[in-house]
Amino acid sequence: MNKVMSNKVVIALYTLPALILILALIYGPILLTGYYGLMDWNGIGAMTFIGLDNYVELVQDSKFWESALHSFLLAIFSTLSLAIYLIISLILAGKIKGSNLLRKIYLIPMLLSSVAIAQLWIKIYDPNNGMLNSLLQTLGVENPPAWLADPNLVLYAIFVAILWQYAGFYIIIYYAALKGLPESLIEAAKIDGATPIQIAYKIKVPLIAGVIKVTIVLAIVGSLKYFDLIYVMTGGGPNGASEVIASYMYKKAFGIYDFGYGSAIAFFLLLITLVVTWLTRKLTASEDEIQY
């Protein structure tokens, strides 16, 4: 078998199918997007080369920067919410009753499609008949806010839905990492008289630091290109108060058929994501691998 693996022809044979697919379906379109970004093109007719005009327009487009700000807020929020997920996972991974059931409960949102989740939260947030406002009214709040119609609140209302949507995904990652820790270390700490909080904070969390870093990158990148829930729940409104980069790009490309400009936004988003990912890796880089 080793012989097979060292044969260059076989190596090429193994990697080629996947490579071709990735090149054709991922990198090819990325290059094309970069190319379209230099064009004035409505998606149907002829293309005109306009150089960097789309990017010049982009830099001056206040609506774009507003949506970029929302995307970054979303990224910060998602990163912070990782702490909540981590705490929940620590509790679940401990020996508490019913953790099996709870784990499944947290996982269920992950099984729903984004559109279903969006519809669900639209119903919850309905200003007059919704669950949330009915609850607030029985608690004595007069004139509860119209969550998705209020430009000052809409973004946060959507954040909460996203927090709920991704709970299962991150909790399962943390949970698996925590379950993979060697029992002996925890026992040793117990014998030394460490409290559960000390064990969690000083032993478990540092030991899964690698996983945490990966989830931070996932959360940030995922937020920057976030689209579906927002598109269904508000369409970026009201008045652009919940517009993010991806929804703005969609609007430009498929809403008003400005594919050149839409592609420029997409390419810019790719650059932003690459830079942010690199920065995140850089800032969270650690010196050495953990060895048990």
Partner 1 sequence: MKGTLAKGLLLLSLFALVFLAACGGSDGENASKDDENESGSGDKVIEFMHLWPEGSSKQHYDIVNGIIEEYESDNPGVKVKLEILGNEQYKEKLKVLSTSNELPDVGMTWAAGFLEPYVSGNMFASLDDLLDGPLKDKFVPGTAEAYALDGTTYGLPLELNITPLYYNKAIFEEHGLEAPTTFDELKEVVQTLVDQGVTPIALGNKDRWTGSMWYMYLADRIGGPEVLNKAIDRSGSFEDPALVEAAKEVQELVDMGAFLNGFNGLGNDEAKGYFINEQAAMYLMGSWDLPEWTTSEANPQEFKDSIDYMKFPVVEGGKGDENSFVGGPGVGLFVAENSDVKEEAKDFVAFFVEKWGEQSVEKAGVIPATKVDTEGSDLPQMYVDVLNDLNEASNITLYADVQMSAGVAEVHLDMIQALFGKAVTPEEFAKQQEEALAAEE
| Residues ≥6 apart with Cβ < 8 Å to 221 | 273, 276, 277
10 Å CB burial of residue 28 (0-12, 13-18, 19+) is exposed
Looking at the Cβ atoms of 53 and 150, the one nearer to partner 1 is 150
Structure tokens at 185: 């270390």
Task: Please compute Rg for the chain using Cα positions.
Answer: 24
CB of 149 to partner 1, least distance (A): 3
CB of 55 to partner 1, least distance (A): 19
**Contact call for residue 58 and partner 1 (CB under 8 A):** no
The rounded Cα 72 to chain-centroid distance in angstroms is 11
Q: Which of 94, 150, 217, 276 binds partner 1 (CB under 8 A)?
A: 150
CB of 154 to partner 1, least distance (A): 7
CB of 16 to partner 1, least distance (A): 9
**Contact call for residue 147 and partner 1 (CB under 8 A):** yes
**Contact call for residue 127 and partner 1 (CB under 8 A):** yes
**Contact call for residue 231 and partner 1 (CB under 8 A):** no
Half-sphere exposure for 157 (CA within 13 Å, toward CB): 29
Structure tokens at 15: 């990697």
Looking only at residues 261 through 280 of this chain, which bind partner 1 when binding is defined by CB under 8 A? none
| Residues ≥6 apart with Cβ < 8 Å to 284 | 213, 216
Q: Which of 13, 24, 96, 141 binds partner 1 (CB under 8 A)?
A: 13
CB of 207 to partner 1, least distance (A): 41
d(CA 83, CA 67): 25
CB of 240 to partner 1, least distance (A): 7
**Contact call for residue 70 and partner 1 (CB under 8 A):** no
Q: Which of 84, 108, 256, 279 binds partner 1 (CB under 8 A)?
A: 256
**Contact call for residue 107 and partner 1 (CB under 8 A):** no
Looking at the Cβ atoms of 8 and 97, the one nearer to partner 1 is 8
Binding site for partner 1 (CB under 8 A): 3-4, 7, 9-10, 13-14, 17, 42-46, 122, 125-129, 146-151, 154, 234-235, 237-240, 251, 255-258
